[in-house]
Amino acid sequence: MRVSTDDYADKAQAALAESNATITHFIDQDLVLERMLGASTLPPTVLVDADGRVFGRVRGAREWDSRAALDYIHATFRHGAPASK
């Protein structure tokens, strides 16, 4: 799931359509989800399991296709304990 705080929802939706993105996308112009998730730094990343439990929070930009990021994701869910980075 992706949450966007874009001021121009139509442009965000167009970019997703153009990229053929298959993820669920929410526009959060009123920052409701941002506040609920405790996002104080952009972009926030919240790792959530299938039951809706938060297992990790990462503040700031990351290269999510890097080996280090994949290792972090696997370790976070393998240990089953909330983590922050």
- With b for 16 or more beta-carbon neighbours within 10 A and e for fewer, the 64-82 pattern comes to eeeeeeeebbeebeeeeee
The tally of CA atoms less than 13 A away on the side-chain side of residue 57 is 14
The pTM for the full model equals 0.54
Contact present, 25 and 13 (Cβ < 8 Å)? yes
Residue ranges per domain, the chain?
1-36, 39-85
The two tokens of residue 41 are 């730094």
CA angle 73, 18, 42 (to 5 degrees): 45
Residue by residue, pLDDT tens for the chain (85 residues) are: 677 776 777 887 788 788 887 777 777 878 887 788 777 777 778 888 888 888 888 888 888 889 998 898 888 888 765 545 5
